[in-house]
Amino acid sequence: MIIAMSPLGEVFRARLRKFPSLVNCCTIDWFSEWPEEALLGVGRGQIISFDLELEELLDPCVEMFTSIHQSVERKSTEFKDQLNRSNYVTPTSFLELLTAYSTILKSKRKVIEFSKNRLVGGLLVLEKAGVEIASLQDHINKMAPELAVTKKDVAETMAVIAVEKKDADAEKEIVAKDEAEATAQETEAELLKGDAEVELGKATPLLEEAARVLAELKKDDFYILAGIKKPTPAVVLGMEVSCNMMQLKPKKETKGKIDGDTGGYFETARTGLLNNPGKFM
């Protein structure tokens, strides 16, 4: 079987690839190379089918690939003449060249479109930033007088604060000194408190004993006490304390009439307290 390699024959050849047994029994022969018109027509149709949107560049692109294919055919002929080795340049090579061009072009377009979008996005951001910077600069220019006044006020305030800080440091030293004195006085008070508690602990039993004795006193005891002509020092001391509690002062003419009553308190107690035991108790 002999198949002419024309545009239609190329399609038929592609079908034969699916049936190896049939291809093994066939002989493929090229009666002639595709003429330039065929290359231009097939190339134009292929590129249009790829939907590359070349528009006014479509025809120059097809002519370029036709020229490339024909130049390779000529070089293959020279290669055959010089080295006696065959290099087959079939119409399939032309179609594969167009397919490779379509794949590469689409891939490059995606890369360029991505870079373009990034660039446009960056330019938009820069434009927006420029507008905001201009707005901020305008705001700063408007606020400049107020800023100058604020700086002046801050400087004055800092001067006042420095003076007040100096005074505060002096007050702090005084307070620290007073605090030290207060601490010392507190320590001394604690010591006095401890001593007082010790003395109170000693006096408590005596106070309890005095309270017990006082509770046991009777009116008759005061009558007996009033009749003593020579009181003991303890009795005189007790009457002196009683007179002071009742705000009774001894008269001058009564002082020292009774033995042992050097201050006259016993005589005053006998006439002012012991004569009415119920009231005194």
**Predicted local distance difference test score (pLDDT) of residue 53:** 87
DSSP assignment string, 51-113: T---GGGHHHHHHHHHHHHHHHHHHHHHHHHHH-------HHHHHHHHHHHHHHHHHHHHHHH
Residues paired with residue 2 on neighbouring β-strands, in sequence order: 27
Give the pLDDT of residue 198: 87
Tell me what pLDDT residue 82 has: 92
Of 233, 239, 232, nearest in space to 273 by CA = 239
Domains of the chain: which residue ranges?
A: 2-125, 217-280
23-31: long-range pairs with CB below 8 Å, 24+: 25/1, 26/1, 27/1, 27/2, 28/3, 29/2, 29/3, 29/4, 29/5, 30/4, 30/5, 30/90, 31/4, 31/5
CA distances from 93 to 43, 68, 102, 153 (A): 12, 11, 14, 86
Residue 7 is predicted with a pLDDT of 47
pLDDT of residue 2: 37
Question: Does residue 232 contact residue 260 with C-beta atoms inside 8 Å?
Answer: yes
Mean pLDDT (10-residue bins), the chain, 281 residues: 44 55 57 81 90 89 91 90 88 90 92 94 92 89 85 87 85 86 88 86 83 80 80 86 87 66 80 83 79
So what's the pLDDT on residue 200?
83
Give me the pLDDT at residue 256, please.
63
- Looking at residue 29, its pLDDT comes to 54
Looking at residue 9, its pLDDT comes to: 53
Render pLDDT for 26-39 as a digit per residue (tens, 0 to 9): 555 555 678 889 88
Q: What is the pTM of this model?
A: 0.41
DSSP one-letter string for the chain? -EE--SHHHHHHHHHHTT-HHHHHT-EE--SSPPPHHHHHHHHHHHHHHHT---GGGHHHHHHHHHHHHHHHHHHHHHHHHHH-------HHHHHHHHHHHHHHHHHHHHHHHHHHHHHHHHHHHHHHHHHHHHHHHHHHHHHHHHHHHHHHHHHHHHHHHHHHHHHHHHHHHHHHHHHHHHHHHHHHHHHHHHHHHHHHHHHHHHHHHHHHHHHH--HHHHHHHHT-SS--HHHHHHHHHHHHHTT----GGGTT-STT-TTSHHHHHHHHTTTSHHHH-
Question: Per residue in 153-200, pLDDT tens?
Answer: 888 888 888 888 888 888 888 888 888 888 888 888 888 888 888 888
